[in-house]
Amino acid sequence: MVDTDALLAAYDAQMRMAPGAVPDGVTHEYDGPLLRIVDDHMGRIRAPRDVGVTGAALDRLIARQRDYFRDRDQAVEWKVRAHDLPTELPERLVAAGFVAQGPSTVLVGVAEEVAAEPVLPDGVVLRRASEADDLRRIADHETVVWGFDLSWVADHLGAHVKADPDHITIMVAEADDRVVCAAWTIYSPGTDFGALLGGTTLEEWRGRGLYRAILAARAREAADRGFRFLHVDASPDSAPILRRCGFHEITTSRHYQWTPPSKAVE
């Protein structure tokens, strides 16, 4: 039996404010218990499990983050897990103008157990990517899959590669020189975890094992590099596949986003 409580404790201890290379154009700032991540696309707030304040003090802490990004005319998202404290945090965020996004399932897998030789459909090639043209093609792929502009992903990935090539592994599955699936792993030195991101497949290629193949390849690399665990905030589409591959649910997460009036959609 897997001790999910132990996995959650390790995740909380190591992945709330995970260390690692900070890409050019990104700054990390602390405001009390919070880590404020500032870049050109969207601000992010990361927090320990318990931010340590409630009531009016919590309202002031939230307002400072909102107002900081308001002054930058930039959106910001605050990631909250289901077991975070205080329990009033979500309602306080909403009262401050943050909007709850759809929930994700946080799953953890043992890298060595998930690792396998990737099985690909005929005509599909799986390879690592890091060059600017590949990153642009990945961003175009993400835009097609999600249906809105994700062109910023190219610069985002490129900045991570430039900051520390060993900090990130980017993989693409291609058919006839077209990206049909893309995913990446970000490694946090000094922790047991690699974070799985991306994992997007073109609609017409779904159900052919590409997600499993790119997952198996990333797990093998993580295990070979000495990382024990993989974690992912999974969408409803991905969570069942990850469970079948041996991942275990430890909690759920939800992003709360605030958007400045100048960028709000009518």
Point out the least confidently predicted range of 68-72, 99-103, 160-164, 248-252.
Answer: 160-164
pLDDT confidence tier of residue 25, bands split at 50, 70 and 90: confident
CATH of domain 4-104+254-263: 3.40.630
pLDDT for 66 beyond 80 = yes
pLDDT confidence tier of residue 19, bands split at 50, 70 and 90: low
Assess contact for 13 and 50: CB atoms under 8 A: no
pLDDT confidence tier of residue 23, bands split at 50, 70 and 90: confident
Q: Residues 147-156: what's their mean pLDDT?
A: 94
Domains of the chain by residue range: 4-104+254-263, 109-252
Predicted TM-score (pTM) of the model is 0.91
Task: Specify the pLDDT at position 265.
Answer: 60
Q: Residues 123-128: what's their mean pLDDT?
A: 96
How high is the mean pLDDT of the chain? 94
Can you name the CATH fold of 109-252?
A: Aminopeptidase (3.40.630)
Q: What is the CA radius of gyration of the chain?
A: 19
CA 8 remoteness from chain centre: 17
Same fold, 4-104+254-263 and 109-252: yes
d(CA 74, CA 71): 8
d(CA 23, CA 172): 22
d(CA 125, CA 131): 17
Task: Specify the pLDDT at position 237.
Answer: 87
Q: Residues 186-213: what's their mean pLDDT?
A: 94
Q: Residues 7-13: what's their mean pLDDT?
A: 95
pLDDT confidence tier of residue 266, bands split at 50, 70 and 90: very low
Task: Specify the pLDDT at position 39.
Answer: 81
